[in-house]
Copies of this chain bind each other. A is one copy, B any other.
Amino acid sequence: MPEDSMEKTYTCTAPVNIAVIKYWGKRHEDLILPINSSLSVTLHQDQLKTTTTVATSKSFEEDRLWLNGKEEDINHPRLQSCLREIRRLARKRRNDDDPGLDSTCLSYKVHICSINNFPTAAGLASSAAGFACLVYTLAQAFGVEGELSGVARQGSGSACRSMYGGFVQWLMGHQSDGKDSLAQQVEPETHWPELRILVLVASAERKHVGSTSGMQTSVQTSHLLKHRAESVVPDRMVEMIKAVRGKDFTAFAELTMKDSNQFHATCLDTYPPIFYLNSVSHQVINLVHRYNSHYGLTRVAYTFDAGPNAVIFTLEQYISDFIQAVRHFFPALTNGGEFIKGLPVPHADLSEELKQAIGLEPMPKGISYIISTKPGPGPCVVKDPTQHLLGPDGLPKNTVKQDSHNRNRHKNCDGDITATL
């Protein structure tokens, strides 16, 4: 493979985001236009990220895609939307702005290789990080700059929010072509340094109902979802932005919990009903409310996406104490792995009063492990060429090794610890 092929390889990373005002329901399926605005916190990539390498070469005969070590069908319509849109923007830039730019690569085929450092399809918004990373990396490869959240949105709605760090809103927009349905940063990741995030990974079964088909059924059948989108969310967006800007943890936490509950309520109001919360989720919810009630203060909040994993928000000063409560009511399996991964959490003793006040029956196999993290930045370019996932031949590096690694990770989803965290 000639040297110039190497120079056309780009690698980027993108973050997971977790919505605190939830997106559920589209008004346009293909353009992915939502029925309400939403707001999320971008999680730190030191703990959770997607890495994507895009290579373009004259010698590639077709567009190809590898996800977590396995070649996948590139003809997925949403993937094609992103590719088409980036190529269109690239051509536009060459034509309108800077006709002098090199446009040879526009006709080249791409090879795309992407990996997550967390289990996919376990309700951890892997598609958001995945499409954000794809779009961001394609944009590097094709020399596209500027607003890209509208492109990412066409891959996976919530992916548009992963295009920024910190606190991000996705404005639903009103135009029929979706041009105004874009993400915006509300505050950067440095805004609220005390805010801490825990992902409580429940024994990670694959979700029963995918979010795409789930939200479609909800839009068609739930009276409550329509009311939520039209009459509840607009006020909540205003309140949430105010709580974030003012670093008002109580307001932020309560609204986060209420909105998570309301989203799951609309799933239950769907026909047939959709359940994403299981008995572990119920126990986490009860634990959080009793914990807060014991202290007479909202110290901790939960939120759940389309799966049983809880995402917990708290402040740095409370995290050790809360983690002890989680450890007590969800005793760790003694399988040799660490229970808490990611940002270190100092030890604290669990008070007898707190234990009594919570008074739940411990649930030994409930939580496999905890990922400790915080708000983080948006997508990043990886400059070190040794980090490329595609080799000079345009194929995934160490395919066989990655493949077996991925099989292990899948096995680990059922209760063990992912090796890459």
Contacts and interface: CB of A to CB of B under 8 A. Distances in A.
Contacts of A227: 223-224, 227, 231
Interface centre among A257, A269, A279 (most CB of B within 10 A): A269
A405 interface: no
A278 interface: yes
A392 interface: no
A258 interface: yes
Nearest to A258: B271
Contacts of A285: 272-273, 275
A262 B231 contact: no
Contacts of A278: 279, 282
A326 interface: no
A269 B279 contact: no
B279 A271 contact: no
Interface string A195-226: 00000000000000000000000000101100
A266 B269 CA distance: 9
Contacts of A264: 268
Interface of A is mostly: helix
Contact of A289 (B221, B266, B272): B272
Interface in A223-263: 223-224, 227-228, 231-232, 254, 257-258, 261-262
Contacts of A275: 282, 285
Nearest to A278: B279
Interface string A295-317: 00000000000000000000000
Contacts of A272: 257, 285, 289
A171 interface: no
A265 interface: yes
Contact of A262 (B223, B228, B279): B223
Interface of A: 221, 223-224, 227-228, 231-232, 254, 257-258, 261-262, 264-266, 268-273, 275, 278-279, 282, 285, 289
Given A223-B228, A257-B271, 10 more contacts: A221-B258, A223-B231, A223-B262, A224-B265, A254-B271, A265-B266, A265-B269, A268-B268, A275-B285, A278-B279
Q: Top 9 nearest A-B pairs by Cβ distance?
A: A265-B265, A265-B269, A265-B268, A272-B289, A227-B227, A261-B273, A224-B224, A262-B269, A223-B232
18 contacts: A223-B231, A223-B232, A224-B228, A227-B231, A254-B271, A257-B271, A258-B269, A261-B269, A261-B270, A261-B271, A262-B268, A264-B268, A265-B265, A265-B268, A265-B269, A272-B285, A273-B285, A275-B282
